[in-house]
Structure 1
Amino acid sequence: MRTDKKAGPAMTLLIILVFITAMAASQDISSVKNNKPLTFGGNFTARQGYMVFGEGVNETNPWNYFLSGNVNLNFYGLVDVPLSGTYTKQEKRVDCPEYREYGISPRYKSLTVHGGYRTLALSGFTLSGTTFLGGAIEYKPNRKWYEFTVLYGRFKKPEDYENVAVEDIDREYLNIHPFFDRRGYAGKIALKGKKNRVELILFRTFDLTKTENLPPGLNIGPADNLCLSLTSKSNILKNLNWSNELALSALNENILVNSEASNTGVFANSFFPGFIKYPATGFKKVFVSDLKIRMKKQTVGLGFRHIDPGYKTLGIPYVSNDLESYTLNIARAFFKNKVNFSGNTGIQRNNLDKLLESTGMKYISGANISWNISKGKSAALGYSNYSSNLVPARIEMTDSIRYFQVNENYSVSFNSSSENETQKSAFSFFTSFQKATAARDGAQNETGIFSMSLSQVKSFKKSGLNLNAMISGNKMDNDQSQSFTCIPSITAGKILFKKKLNCSVTFSDAISILRESETACLYNIRAGFTYQLIKSSALGADFTKSFKTGNSSFRNITQSNVYLKISF
C-alpha cells in the first residue's frame, strides 16, 4: 500500500523536532532537576485459601494458593515502568509492559510540546477523543491576549486486507480496521481579553490511498473531511455570561465518486487551495448557545443546541446528530442559604429535515430541594420526569404507530451525624419510587419500583468498638410479575493492641419473594482480622459461611483465607 511520499519525510522531521524540543524543555524544568534518577515501589501478596461447596463434596481440590507481586520503576519522576507477576495453582505468568502506544508532553512555563501517541481536544464538535501519532504545540501564556495550538499526525494506520473478502468490507468495518492511511492537521487561535474570548479552529483529515491501491470490487474510497469552528465566551454584564459555538463539517466519504462541484467545493478551494471539491450536500452545521444569569441568590440558565442531520467529523468517534433542544435551569437559595432549590426542564426533537417516517419528541424535567436543618443534619427531596413521544411524520402512511413513554422518579433522604468525647454516630435514610408507563397503539403497561435503605453507625472511642446496622429492600410491581427483596445486615468490629489488630464479624440475610409463592433466603456469616506487622505490611485471615433455604439457585459455600501483604 502506497502513501503520499511528500508526507513521509515531513512527518518524520516533525516528530524528531518535537522530541528534541521536549528534551530541551524537560532540562529547564526545576522539578526534574531535583528528582532522583530512579525510584521504585510495589507490593507483594501471598494468599492460602480453602473453599467447599454444598455438603462438603467438591469436584476439585478445595485448597488453593495465590502469589502476586507488582513493581513500578520511575525515572526522574516522568516515566513509569510497571512490572507484575502471578503464581497460582492454575497458571504462572509474568507481565511486562508492551509499549504499543507511547508519548511525551513536557511543559515549560506557557509552552507544552506533545510527541508520539497523543489525544487533544480542540472543541466538542471538531476534534476530541481521537488518538493520533504525531506532534503538537500548545502555547497558552497567562498575560498575553492570544493562545494557539497546532498539530499534525496520523489518525489511522492502514491494515492488510489480503485475506479479507471484499463483500465483508463496508464503512463500519473500516472504522475498526482501516484500509486507508489517514493523516490530519489542525490549528486553533484564541483571542482573549478580561471579559471576552474568541476561538477559531480549523481541522482537516484526509486518506492518502490512491486508486490503484483499492481491491477490485470495493465500492469504498478514501475520505476527506474539513471542519471549521468559531466559539465565543463573553461576560456581557457583571453577572451575565454568554457562550456560543458554530461548527461546520464537510465530509466526503469517497472522493473517487463524490467529487462533483458544489458551493462547498468552491468555498473550500477558494480559501484553502488544494482541497478537493466536496459533495453537493455541502457543510453540515452545529450551533450551541448557553446564557447564564447570576443574581445574589439565584442563577438562571438558558440553552439551545442544533445539530444538522448527517453531521459527522473524523475527529470525534461518535456524534449525536439530527436533534434540536431547548433547556432551562434555575437555582435559588432561601433562608440564609439553609434551603437550596434547583430545577431544570427541556425539550428535544429530531427529524429536522422531515425525511424520516416519524418524529420523536423528548421532555425532561427535574427538581431538587436540600435543607441544612442544623449542624450534622440534612434532608433532601427530589423529582425527575422523562417522557418521549413518537408520532408519524407522513400522514399518508396507513400502518403508522404512535408510541409514548413516561418515567417518573421521586426520592427522599435524611442524614444525621453527631460526635462527643466518647462516641461518634451517623444515621442515614433514603427511599425512592420510580414509575414507568409505556403505551403503544392503545395498549398501556405500568411498572412501579419502590426502594428503601436505612443505616445506623456507632463508634466508641475508648473501647475501639464499631457497630453498623443496615437494612435495604426494594419492591417491583408490573402487569406480569411482582417481586420483593429485603437485606438486613449487622457488623461489629473492634480495634485492639494499640490499633494494630482490627477484628470484625458480619451477619446478613437476603430474603427474596417472587409472586408471593416462591421464597428464598441466603444467610451469610463472615469473620476476619487484619494485623499490621510493620508500617506497610499486614497479616490477615477471613472466614465466610453461606447457606440457603427455600427456592434459590445459590449453593452453600464454606470459604476461608489467610493472606500476607507487603508494600515497599
Structure 2
Amino acid sequence: MKIKNNKILFWLCIVFACCFCRKGYAQDVDLENFYKPNFKVTGNINANMMYYTSNMENSREPFTYLFSGNLNVSAFNFSVPVSYSITNQGNNLGYTAPFDFNRLSIMPKYKWVKAYIGNVSMTFSPYTLSGYPFKGVGLELTPRSPFKISLMGGQLLKAVSEENALGGVPVYQRFGYGAKVGFEKAQYKLGWIGFYAKDDVNSLNMVNDRGVTPKENFVNSLIFSTSLVRNLNLNVEYALSVLTDDIRSKTISGGGLRDKIFSSKETTSFMNAFNVNFDYNIQKSTVGLTYERIDPNYNTLGALYFNNDLENISLRFARPFYQDKITISTSLGFQRDDLEKVKKQDTKRVVGSINMNYRVTDQLNITGSYSNFSTYTNKKLDQFELINNPNVVPSDTLDYRQLSQNANMNMSYAFGKKRNQNLNFNYSIAGQANEQGGVIRKGQASTVQNYNLAHTVSFLATKVALNSSLNYTNNQVSRNNNSSMGASVGASKKLFKDKLNTNLGFLYNNTQGNMNSSSVFGVKFNNSYVMLERHNFSLNIISMFRSSTNTQKFNDLTATLNYSCSLDKIKLPVKKEPKKEKETVLNPVLKINHKDKTYEGTRDEIIKQLQDMQSALRPMPKEDSDDLQHLLTLTTLTPDDQSFKEKALNYLKAYDLNNDILDKYNKYLLDTAKSLREEMIRKDEGFENDYVMALGRVNKHKMHGVNEKDVTDKVSYNSYLKLVERKNKKLQPLLVHRWMINEITILSNTPVDQIHQNENLSVFNKEELGHFFKMMKEKKTETETIEEIKIKLIPFYHDLALKNVKDDEVDFKFLKNN
C-alpha cells in the first residue's frame, strides 16, 4: 500500500463523516446568546521546581522544573481546552528520545464537534490505537444521530540517528492515520476501526541497520456491543493486524486474496485478536465472563506495549451482603501461551482472587483481600535431541510450577468525641515458591510480611494534629533472612485562619540481615499556603541520612517548591456602553419563559403564581421544601426586574427538579407495589397450607371438642393444647399476609399521580422520603432505588398489619380448589 493512497482514504473519511452527520446540525441554537462573547477562562496552572543534592556519586540531576497547565477558554458557544507541559527533565539524558518532553495540546470544542491539535493522544480500542501520543490533529464527531466518528493523523515517532539514540539503536520517523466509525442505538452499538502507520525510509541514513527496519502496519477492527437482554451487557471485538516488518522487502507475486488486498511483502504477517466479555446483573449481584485470544507476535504500532501469544478466560462475581454492609468480589482466571505449539516451553497460569469490605459501624471499617497465582511451565525437548543425544533422560524436561499468594487486611477505627482520632492497622503477607517435579526444594521459597500501625489525633480547638506510626517487615527470601523495624512521628498546625498549614516529621528505620545491617533517619518539613482562595504555594523539604555496615554513609536533601493557581470563571471586562435614560414604568408587565411555559404579568401577579405553585406542592422532605421557600423569598425581595427574572428562574428550576424526583419516586413506588403484590400472591398458598395442616391436626385430635372439666387424660390433653398453640401461631402470619396483600393491591391499583394520597403511604413518606430524595439526587440507579424501597416498605407494612389485623374468619382460597 502506498502512503499517498492512505492519505486520500483519510480525507475521504472526513468528507464521509460530514455528510453523515448533517442531521446533527438540526438542534436548538440560542440565537439571543450566540453573538454574545461570554469570554471565560477556567482551569489551573502549575509550576514545580525541585532541587536535589547528595554526597553519593552518579546521583540524579540537581535541578529540574516542570511548568504545566490545563485551561479551558470559552467564548460565544465555543470552548477550547488547552494543556501544556514544559520541563528540562529530558535535556541531560545523554541521548535523544523519539518523542517530545515539552508538550502543547489544544482541544477546541463546539457542541458535538471536538478537535485535538498539537501533542495529543486518542484511544480507539486496545488492539488498534490505544492512547499512543502523537503530534498532529484529531477530530471527534458525536452528533445526536446514531453515527459517531473519530479521526486522527500525525507523527507517532520522530527520527533519531544512530549517534544520538539510546544504546546506539536508531529510530525511523513514523506517521499514523486512523478512523473510527460507530453506529449507536439504545440497545446495541456497531463499529469499525481502521489504523495505518508507516515508517519513512528516507528519515535515516544508516550504513548498518543493526536490526532496525522500517515498518508498516494496517489494523482493522470490528466492534459490537449489546444490551438487548435486560441487565446483560455483551461486548465483542475482533481485530486483524497486517504488519510488514521491513517495507524494503519484495512484494509477493501471486499469493492469496488477502495478499493481493493488502499488497503483502515477504516480511508481512497477518495476526488476529479476539475479545468477548459480558456482565449480567441479578438484583445486587454482578456476574462477568471474559474470553481473550491474541495470536503470537500480534502487534499494533498504535500501542506503546502489547502482550501477545495468549489465551485468557476469567470469571468475575460481586455482591453486597448483610444490608449492604459487606461487599465481596471474586475472580478466577486461566491463561496460557504457545497457541501454535511451536515454543520449546509453554506456560499456564491460574489466577484467583477475593476482596471483601465490611463496614461494621460508621466508625469501624475492615477490608481484606487474597489472591493466588499458579504458573505452570513445561519444557518440551526437541525430537531430534532425543534421537541424537542418548544421554537425555526424562528428568531433563522441565515440569515447573511457581506458586504465589498474597493476602492483605486493613482495619480503620475512628473514635473520640467528634471522631477526631483515627487508628489504622494494616497487615500484608506475600509468599512465593518454586516447585519442580512436585517438590519445593530448599531455598526455593520466600515470604514477606509487613505490619503497620498508625494513629492520628486532631485537636480541633487549637488546630493542631499529631500523627505517629510503627512498622515491621520480615523478609525470608531464599536462604536469606532480614527484618526491618521503624517508626515515625509528626505534627501539623494551621495558622492565619487556616491559610497556612505547616508540618514537621521525623522517621527512623533499621534493617538487620544475615550479611548486612543498615539504618535510615529522615526529617520532613512541609508548608502550604493559600492566598486569595485560588493561589496555592507549597514548600516540601526532606533530608535522609543513610548508613550501612558494607557501604559508606551518605545523605541527600530534596527540596520542592510548587505553585498552583485555580482559574475559576475569569471574565474579560465588558465594555460599558453609555446608559440611556429610560422612561420609568410603574408595575411593568414581565415575561419569564421556562421550558414550555410562559409566566406573564406584573411582579405581584407572577409572585402570586409562584406562591400558588408552592402551596400546591406535594409532600417532600422538609429540607427541600424549606430550600424552595427560601428561593421564593429571595425572588420577592429582589430590587430590580432583571434580578427578579433570574431569581424566579432559579426557583422554577429547583421546583421542576424536585417535581421530577417526586414523579420518579412515585413511579418507583408503584413498580415496587406491583412487584410485591405478585410475589406475595405466589407465597399466599404456602401460608394457607401451613395453617390448614396445623388446623387439621387440631380437629383430628381425640381431645378436640372435649370440655376441660371432663378431661381425664392430662398427657393427651396437654398434647392437644400444644397443637392448638401451633395452629394459632400459623394463623397470625396468614392473617398478616392477607392484610398486607389487600393493602399492597390497593396501592398497586392507584394511579401514579394519586399514589402519594394513600393514607398508609403518607406515613411511610414522612419517615423515608428524605432518604430516597438523597438517593435520587446522588443519581442512584433505578434498580438500586427500587430494591431499597422494597427493603423499607415490607417491614413498614408488616408493622401496620400487626397493629390492624383482627382474628377474623379465614377465607380458604386454595382448599376449595383442592
Is this a same-fold pair by TM over 0.5?
A: yes
| 1:251 is the counterpart of 2:238 | no
Q: Which structure ranks higher in relative contact order (CA pairs < 8 Å, sequence separation ≥ 6)? A: 1
| 1:319 is the counterpart of 2:310 | no
Q: Output aligned runs, 1:126-165, within 5 Å.
A: 126-141=128-143, 143-158=144-159
Judge conservation of contact 1:134–1:152 (CA < 8 Å) in 2: yes
1-side partners of 2:540 and 2:369: how far apart? 43
| 1:238 is the counterpart of 2:225 | no
One-letter amino acid of the counterpart of residue 404, structure 1: R
Unaligned 5+ residue runs, structure 2? 15-30, 56-61, 75-79, 89-99, 386-391, 567-818
2-side partners of 1:477 and 1:119: how far apart? 44
1:193 to 185, 189, 194: 185
Task: Give deviations 1:24-59, integer Å, cap 9, x for gaps.
Answer: xxxx99799433699997779999x9x999xxxxxx
Which one has a larger percent strand, Structure 1 or Structure 2?
1
1-side partners of 2:109 and 2:450: how far apart? 50
2-side partners of 1:121 and 1:558: how far apart? 41
2-side partners of 1:487 and 1:196: how far apart? 56
Task: Give deviations 1:112-151, integer Å, cap 9, x for gaps.
Answer: 233444432222111223344444332111x311112233
- Aligned residue for 2:131, secondary structure, equals coil
Residue 385 of structure 1 deviates from its aligned partner by 1.0
2:216 to 217, 221, 224: 224
One-letter amino acid of the counterpart of residue 476, structure 2: D
Q: Output aligned runs, 1:54-453, within 5 Å.
A: 76=73, 102-141=104-143, 143-158=144-159, 173=169, 176-178=170-172, 182-207=174-199, 209=201, 222-261=214-253, 266-267=257-258, 269=260, 275-279=262-266, 283-394=270-381, 396=383, 398=392, 399-418=396-415, 420-421=417-418, 424-440=420-436, 443-444=441-442, 445-453=444-452
One-letter amino acid of the counterpart of residue 461, structure 2: K
Q: Which moved more, 1:444-453 or 1:477-486?
A: 477-486
**2:471 is matched with which residue?**
472
2-side partners of 1:542 and 1:301: how far apart? 47
One-letter amino acid of the counterpart of residue 467, structure 1: L
Give the RMSD, CA atoms, in angstroms.
5.0
One-letter amino acid of the counterpart of residue 324, structure 1: E
Change (3 A) 1:133 1:337: same
Change (3 A) 1:375 1:200: same
Task: Give deviations 1:227-267, integer Å, cap 9, x for gaps.
Answer: 21101111131111110100011222234435224655x23
**1:459 is matched with which residue?**
458
Judge conservation of contact 2:3–2:198 (CA < 8 Å) in 1: no
2-side partners of 1:46 and 1:291: how far apart? 47
- Could you state the TM-score of these two structures normalised by the residue count of structure 2? 0.53
Report how many aligned residue pairs link the two structures.
Answer: 510
2-side partners of 1:100 and 1:504: how far apart? 33
Report sequence identity in percent. Answer: 20
Task: Give deviations 1:448-505, integer Å, cap 9, x for gaps.
Answer: 1110101111112123332222111101124422111111223344446655676655
One-letter amino acid of the counterpart of residue 353, structure 1: E
Change (3 A) 1:482 1:73: closer
Judge conservation of contact 2:44–2:565 (CA < 8 Å) in 1: no
- Aligned residue for 2:130, secondary structure, equals coil
2-side partners of 1:472 and 1:117: how far apart? 44
One-letter amino acid of the counterpart of residue 335, structure 2: Q
One-letter amino acid of the counterpart of residue 257, structure 1: S
**2:39 is matched with which residue?**
35
Residue 315 of structure 1 deviates from its aligned partner by 2.3
- Aligned residue for 1:267, secondary structure, equals helix
Task: Give deviations 1:73-105, integer Å, cap 9, x for gaps.
Answer: 9895755778899xxxxxxxxxxxx99765533
2-side partners of 1:389 and 1:414: how far apart? 35
- Could you state the TM-score of these two structures normalised by the residue count of structure 1? 0.73
Judge conservation of contact 1:331–1:341 (CA < 8 Å) in 2: yes
**1:57 is matched with which residue?**
none
2-side partners of 1:153 and 1:560: how far apart? 39
Residue 519 of structure 1 deviates from its aligned partner by 5.7
Judge conservation of contact 1:137–1:149 (CA < 8 Å) in 2: yes
Judge conservation of contact 1:307–1:321 (CA < 8 Å) in 2: yes
2-side partners of 1:487 and 1:259: how far apart? 66
Which one has a larger percent helix, Structure 1 or Structure 2?
2
2-side partners of 1:117 and 1:565: how far apart? 24
Unaligned 5+ residue runs, structure 1? 16-27, 54-64, 86-97
Task: Give deviations 1:415-455, integer Å, cap 9, x for gaps.
Answer: 1113535x611111110111110134654511111101011
2-side partners of 1:223 and 1:75: how far apart? 38
**1:88 is matched with which residue?**
none
Change (3 A) 1:352 1:554: same
Judge conservation of contact 1:262–1:277 (CA < 8 Å) in 2: no
